[in-house]
Structure 1
């Protein structure tokens, strides 16, 4: 066994032992079911933070443990209850988004949009930067933040080669992409996994948020952060060049491109009007896979490449939330934090800050998975609290490890951690401050 493998095995063993210890030690105010769930919570937390095994594997273990250890100690609870987490309406909605994004990427509809925007931005550095940021944010509303960043980095690199080696604007152009991929994902329910987790856990409490309603606060929040980020990047990384040469390659449009574009327009429009038409967003999500798979737009290999691991990761988080609520662990956490009966504003701020700090050092999805169930136990008007947690997870982007888009941008070798941190901290603080009044005003 290799040295790294031994280290991972020992770390996994320690996590398991600590989780077992927590499960069996008597804790004041916590029932047997609560202690069992606390053990699962500890395993999930350290598993997601350390990534000792893949994140989706941790989620699978969470589902299996919940179904195994909780039904015997919670009266009337069946193991099949926890399987619902993997087949919830939110999982279906997100899967539909993945199929839509896969079709767009395969037929380069994203590149068509990028070319369309950049060909109209002009050649002034500020205009080029804004065009790239706007395109990145829009694509991230419908595609994964990681895929959007990977695409836009390839668009940015040819632009950067026309700038001199010492031009600070090179750094600004690259930094803009991960920041706006993260910010753009806020705007729609399918933009990023934390949004899906928030929606599903609210749905489990009988609170339904339509696609359009989410966008009514997510889109303004996203646009304001985009404009602020654009201003910051221009101030911190002032361009030396007055003009930038753009090398834009065209994409030949075929009938399949048209079908993908029409499917995107129809699906997105129906999602926006779902509350008016009284149609479930998850039902609409079947349109992309049905159209693309039946017409050959996507094939078996494309089907296999869909982000099933991300869906399982989200499902594990949903399952953990279900377990925490059924066992009373969420309420116990609130008592420990002395937030039971606290004002709505205080609860929002505390959980927003906790999420922001945690999500800078661990997966945004994992941070949301861990904190939303605790926030829900506060009772009362939980919608703004849960949505705020999802928003704060997305604005946590201080370090290269904070989010995959940051890591991709950092790997280009054109930015330093300090560059990412000084802009990321300011955007995060603005998000913390701005998110609260927007939520309370629009909700």
Structure 2
């Protein structure tokens, strides 16, 4: 969680304006960063509409002189607020202690004349007061007068709460007389034992009301003191975090000096202030033990901490809901894009209706998605009734295939939901056949479908998620990437190539979903310091997205389409041969696309045409590798090595899916990744297992089930004549070219994963009719080209993320023209590299 969000999450809502203005200080840092860069390339500041001041980046004292007054202002604000609150709570604590002393010095407890105007039901509740939980106590304490059982409490001239007063009552109900008799008997028994009873130990009505009153006051004051202590800790973390960011951005060394010489010498951050708060907490615990728990300090500490935790949980839940609400309304906060620029927002604008139809129950709005769903259902029902292909199972499977294709293409419902519908329809419509050609009964068909859905390929996918999560959580990706990028220097073209290489490589291991998001986070310091209207910004953003798409073809676990392709291969391709083809193809594609972008954007040229721009260098992370990080690297290398030589170890492991279990066990068993227990879950807990892309898993499972259904139903057998006519007289390479064009067009307009689900079985069948059975080769080419469909803003997640990137004034860096002008040629280049160099390499490695 970002600190700005953590600050909101941990802050006391009523004190929000008194906390450190972290976001404002961060904006000031970025302005100083611009001024530093202005020495080499002065430019017009869009916000002030004037030239930036020139500050020598080597002279950090100039920026320090501008930033320190801002810190001093925040420090003074925090100090004044703390001193006022500290005086307030200490005064209230002293008054509370005086009340306890007055109560100790008052006359012995007598209950005869202390009566409440309550009914019999309220009297039954009196016995539970001492066992009242903090939540119930807080609820009753916050109730307005007249609600619930309230003792007679007022306010004295000194501002203190008055204790419940004894009063004489002219008459007494039978229940009251009985209670007085029981009290007298109890008091007589107590007096004979030799232990005089006080208000803190008596069970009388008056004593219990007194204890309840003190309990409420002590717990409320305890929360105030602990909240003040938390206020100090959060603000100290704020100063430490903002100074760390300042040093990192401006290359200064202000943090340690300012914390040591200024912050830690100012209340509330002095040791004396901390001791004062700790002493107040100790006094409150002692008071609570005296007034409530009959001297038991451990019980007092436990109950007060429980009350504090429940209060904090209540406050945090309220603040968290407010922050989520703000994010959903596009007003910033958690998940609004601050942490991950370009990440999808939590809630989209409602879809506009195409038309509105009046019905007896009201008007129904027909949207594009509803219309697509109606069309898909209508086509599905029609195809079920019309004999399209020979054989009932094949005809029904064809209807399911067309229905799923329309649903996936239009996204009328979430993609993974359509995938889950596939096995349901295949089982209920009896699409699956036995080896003899007979339709299997529904129970047997269900068992078969589920047995093929969770295949070793799915286990390989989950293993890939585990590796990606471990690398990301231990910050290995950021550590390695920043070190590589720090070597790129300041030349725009070299920096552009470095980012493309990093984006491609990262996509191989942490998926082409997370890799571009990470890279877009790393380039923000560069984008902030670029001159206005510089072409380097859109060029860099588009380059990262295109490289991430290319990285999706580089390893078997980098994207679901690769795993779909592997599942359609027989025998399955080992990792060594995949790398032998995919890595050279990806490297050549990256270089060619880099040249294309340089020619198209000329990113090194300054906006005014005078010379070249200079890029702010990326600083390498200074942290050294920890034992946990070495462990993650070791497990990942061992797992990848076993995947590469799996064919030689097939007698031992059987399949690559078994090898995928190694990182799952190694990381979750050693605590690198965590699965939060339902019995211990808290708002701070983070469940790594739940963060896996399970929708992608279900999407792949549905795709595998559909592929097996198309084969088992006999649909592919019915397509033999059509496929044979298509490939008759064509050479292998001619088929490769035609297939490449079809795959590229389809994957440009629909999901890459869905394209592989639909096209890999067809490629497999086409290859089986070619001399020498070229199924694996055509499936491999199909899987690689699915990742090259990147000509549109909606073509894959990297493009979608790049299309949402905005500058400081809220304008998008990229337009549809950028994708059409550069994305379409890049797609064609990458597809041609696969169809030419990739084809030759596949032949060389024996595919």
Q: 2:273 — aligned with what? A: none
Q: 2:708 — aligned with what? A: 322
- Pairs within 5 Å for 1:86-105: 86-105=453-472
The whole-number CA distance in structure 2 between the counterparts of 1:179 and 1:91 is 27
The whole-number CA distance in structure 1 between the counterparts of 2:719 and 2:815 is 38
The whole-number CA distance in structure 2 between the counterparts of 1:330 and 1:417 is 39
Q: 1:39 — aligned with what? A: 399
1:287 aligns with 2:662: yes
Secondary structure of the corresponding residue to residue 26 of structure 1: coil
1:225 aligns with 2:600: no
User: Would you say the 8 A contact 1:24–1:36 is kept in 2?
Assistant: no
Secondary structure of the corresponding residue to residue 243 of structure 1: coil
The whole-number CA distance in structure 2 between the counterparts of 1:251 and 1:12 is 54
The whole-number CA distance in structure 1 between the counterparts of 2:822 and 2:351 is 40
Pick the structure with greater CA Rg. 2
Deviations 1:394-433 (A, max 9, x none): 1110001111110000100211221122222222222332
- Pairs within 5 Å for 1:93-172: 93-172=460-539
Deviations 1:154-197 (A, max 9, x none): 11222122221211111111011111111112111111111110
The whole-number CA distance in structure 1 between the counterparts of 2:515 and 2:351 is 35
Aligned match of 1:392 in 781, 785, 802?
785
Aligned CA distance change for structure 1 residues 247 and 327 (closer, same or farther; 3 Å):
same
User: Would you say the 8 A contact 2:458–2:701 is kept in 1?
Assistant: yes
Secondary structure of the corresponding residue to residue 186 of structure 1: coil
The whole-number CA distance in structure 2 between the counterparts of 1:90 and 1:57 is 20
TM-score in terms of structure 1 length = 0.93
Name stretches of at least 5 consecutive residues in structure 2 with no aligned partner: 1-349, 354-364, 606-611, 676-686, 806-811
Aligned CA distance change for structure 1 residues 392 and 331 (closer, same or farther; 3 Å):
farther
Higher helix proportion, which one?
1
Q: Greater RCO between the two (CA within 8 Å, min separation 6)?
A: 1
User: Would you say the 8 A contact 2:486–2:620 is kept in 1?
Assistant: no
Deviations 1:239-287 (A, max 9, x none): 2234211243626343322222222222223223333444532222112
1:75 aligns with 2:75: no
Q: 1:417 — aligned with what? A: 816
Paired positions, count: 439
Aligned match of 2:578 in 214, 223, 226?
214
User: Would you say the 8 A contact 1:334–1:374 is kept in 2?
Assistant: no
Secondary structure of the corresponding residue to residue 553 of structure 2: helix
Q: 1:236 — aligned with what? A: 600
**How far is the alpha carbon of 1:100 from its aligned partner?**
0.5
1:436 aligns with 2:829: no
Q: Which moved more, 1:269-278 or 1:182-191?
A: 269-278
Q: 2:617 — aligned with what? A: 246
Secondary structure of the corresponding residue to residue 790 of structure 2: coil
- Pairs within 5 Å for 1:268-279: 268-278=640-650, 279=653
User: Would you say the 8 A contact 2:744–2:789 is kept in 1?
Assistant: yes
Q: Which moved more, 1:214-223 or 1:282-291?
A: 282-291
**How far is the alpha carbon of 1:381 from its aligned partner?**
1.4
1:62 aligns with 2:422: yes
The whole-number CA distance in structure 2 between the counterparts of 1:112 and 1:162 is 23
The whole-number CA distance in structure 2 between the counterparts of 1:103 and 1:144 is 13
User: Would you say the 8 A contact 1:359–1:393 is kept in 2?
Assistant: yes
The whole-number CA distance in structure 2 between the counterparts of 1:59 and 1:212 is 31
Aligned CA distance change for structure 1 residues 219 and 25 (closer, same or farther; 3 Å):
same
The whole-number CA distance in structure 2 between the counterparts of 1:289 and 1:50 is 35
**How far is the alpha carbon of 1:343 from its aligned partner?**
3.6
Q: Which moved more, 1:114-123 or 1:238-247?
A: 238-247
1:14 aligns with 2:375: yes
**How far is the alpha carbon of 1:360 from its aligned partner?**
0.8
Q: 1:357 — aligned with what? A: 745
Q: 1:306 — aligned with what? A: 692
User: Would you say the 8 A contact 1:212–1:275 is kept in 2?
Assistant: no
User: Would you say the 8 A contact 1:325–1:377 is kept in 2?
Assistant: no
Q: 1:256 — aligned with what? A: 628
The whole-number CA distance in structure 2 between the counterparts of 1:17 and 1:76 is 25
Secondary structure of the corresponding residue to residue 716 of structure 2: helix
Aligned CA distance change for structure 1 residues 334 and 398 (closer, same or farther; 3 Å):
farther
Secondary structure of the corresponding residue to residue 187 of structure 1: coil
The whole-number CA distance in structure 2 between the counterparts of 1:336 and 1:232 is 40
- Pairs within 5 Å for 1:329-340: 329-333=715-719, 335-336=721-722, 338-339=725-726
**How far is the alpha carbon of 1:213 from its aligned partner?**
1.1
User: Would you say the 8 A contact 2:791–2:825 is kept in 1?
Assistant: no
The whole-number CA distance in structure 2 between the counterparts of 1:431 and 1:32 is 41
The whole-number CA distance in structure 2 between the counterparts of 1:250 and 1:335 is 61
Aligned CA distance change for structure 1 residues 2 and 228 (closer, same or farther; 3 Å):
closer
The whole-number CA distance in structure 2 between the counterparts of 1:327 and 1:36 is 9
**How far is the alpha carbon of 1:147 from its aligned partner?**
0.8
Aligned CA distance change for structure 1 residues 3 and 163 (closer, same or farther; 3 Å):
closer
Secondary structure of the corresponding residue to residue 635 of structure 2: helix
